[in-house]
Structures are given as C-alpha cells and as structure tokens.
C-alpha cells in the first residue's frame, strides 16, 4: 500500500512539474497568438521581436521589446516598451 502511495505521489509531482514547464515554454507563443487576434480587431500589429513570457515557478510575467504599430500603414510605432517585469509579491 505504501509503495502505491509513493508511485502516486511521484506521478502527481511529475505531472505538476511537467505542466509548469509546459506553461513556461509555451507562454510566448500562446500570448502572441491571442494578443495578435485582439490587436487585429484594434487595427494594430505586434512587433516581431516582442516577447511575452510567464514563469509559473516564480509567478512572474516578463515583457521585452514590446512594440505596437498600425496594421494598415506600418508608418511607425504607436507604443513601445523596452522591458517590464511583474512579479507576485508575498503580503506579510
């Protein structure tokens, strides 16, 4: 019985760690996909070098080289942000 509980605990731990790693690895692609859909409705375009990443291990959202431009004329950047980090801080 104890052996079965150890196997279940190991499996649950592996699944949780695997889920966190998947979220961390896929977050830039998922964020760009959904953000691009929203920006198209606003006639805006996300810059090619823009990176948005969520780290579930640290509860940290990092945005780097964010650039928004008009989708119709590409004349220039409407908004630009070099870097932004948002982290969940513990409240004492």
In a domain, 11, yes or no: yes
In a domain, 92, yes or no: no
User: pLDDT (tens digit, 9 = 90+) per residue, 2-43?
Assistant: 899 999 999 999 999 999 999 999 999 999 999 988 988 888
69 assigned to some structural domain: yes
| Any domain includes 15 | yes
- Residue 77's pLDDT is 81
How many separate domains does the chain show? 1
- Please report whether residue 71 resides in a domain: yes
Write a three-state SS string for the chain. Answer: CHHHHHHHHHHHHHHHHHHHHHHHHHHHHHHHHHHHHHHHHCCEEECCCCEEEEECCCCEEEEEEEEEEECCCCCCEEEEEEEEEEECCCCC
Q: Indicate whether 6 belongs to any domain.
A: yes
> Domain residues for 45?
2-87
Check residue 2 and give its pLDDT. Answer: 84
pLDDT, tens digit, 9 for 90 and up, residues 33-42: 999 889 888 8
Q: Give residue 5's pLDDT.
A: 92
């Amino acid at each position: 019985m104890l052996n079965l509980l150890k196997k279940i605990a190991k499996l649950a731990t592996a699944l949780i760690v695997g889920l966190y790693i998947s979220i961390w690895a896929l977050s830039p692609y998922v964020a760009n996909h959904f953000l691009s859909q929203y920006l198209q409705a606003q006639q805006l375009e996300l810059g090619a070098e823009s990176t948005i990443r969520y780290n579930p291990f640290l509860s940290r959202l990092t945005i780097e080289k964010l650039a928004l431009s008009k989708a119709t004329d590409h004349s220039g950047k409407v908004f630009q942000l070099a870097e932004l980090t948002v982290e969940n801080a513990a409240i004492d």
